[in-house]
Amino acid sequence: MKITWLGHSAFHIQTDGKDILVDPFFTGNPSFPEGYEDTLTKVDIIALTHGHGDHFGDTLRLAKAYDATVVAMYEIVQYLGAQGLEKLEPMNIGGSIVTGGIKFSMVNAQHSSAIIEDGKPITMGDPAGLVITSSEHAVYHAGDTGLFSDMQLIQRVFRPDIGILPIGDRFTMDPEQAAIACNEFLDLKLVLPCHYGTWPLVPGDPQQFKSLVNKGEVRIPGPGETIDV
């Protein structure tokens, strides 16, 4: 499995012959690695945690360009269907689906979810996290979330061994809370921080996070850096 951080909460996961984009916020993302999109030869699946613009991002454009299947909350799928997309997999909290041989499980997140159009919010259902399971690993992308103790149930039921956790503060967990998640509720072999440093409003310090985690390895990739696991 290869996991590439594309800045903010966007990731490119390559596993079992599939290319998966999670929360593909490319346009307007100051942390997005310049020129990376030019290297994409295919995108099989786009998976979304929630409907905020910094996560929903370029989904519609990319799904059309690459004929990708979109896996997302029911309300997001309905919105995308109205925009002309057809390869859609609606989900909700607690459910799992398999597409392209990859299993996607949707789990709780403590946040909100809406897209802003003409200055008005349009609800996109509830926020979520995703556990993406292939023959190689199970990756828990927590989406945007505060700390909650039922993360231990996510670990118990879906058994992720890789975690992607937000640490930016203000809108999500800060480094200390994310470390509590790792140390007390999850049992991850590898942890990658995200949703920090994109703008001054999300200042979370990844080195502080790493210093506080005492269970599992924390790696801090730069934008565009690929980690082989």
pLDDT band at 133 (very low <50, low <70, confident <90, very high): very high
Predicted local confidence at residue 32, as pLDDT: 98
pLDDT band at 223 (very low <50, low <70, confident <90, very high): very high
Average pLDDT, the chain: 98
Q: What is the pLDDT of residues 65-90, one digit of tens each?
A: 999 999 999 999 999 999 999 999 99
The answer to whether residues 62 and 69 touch, using CB atoms and an 8 Å cutoff, is no
Buried b (16+ CB within 10 A) or exposed e, 74-110: bbbbebbeeeebeebbbbeeeeeeebbebebbbbbbb
Predicted local confidence at residue 214, as pLDDT: 97
Predicted local confidence at residue 76, as pLDDT: 98
Region 114-137: what's the mean pLDDT? 96
Predicted local confidence at residue 116, as pLDDT: 92
- What is the spatial distance between Cα 171 and Cα 52, in angstroms, rounded to a whole number? 12
What's the pTM value of the predicted model, to 2 decimals? 0.98
34: exposed, middle or buried (C-beta count within 10 Å: 0-12, 13-18, 19+)?
Answer: exposed
- Identity at 51, one-letter amino acid code: G
Structure tokens at 18: 């599939």
Predicted local confidence at residue 96, as pLDDT: 98
Q: What is the pLDDT of residues 3-44, one digit of tens each?
A: 999 999 999 999 999 999 999 999 999 999 999 999 999 999
User: Would you state the CATH architecture of domain 2-221?
Assistant: 4-Layer Sandwich (3.60)
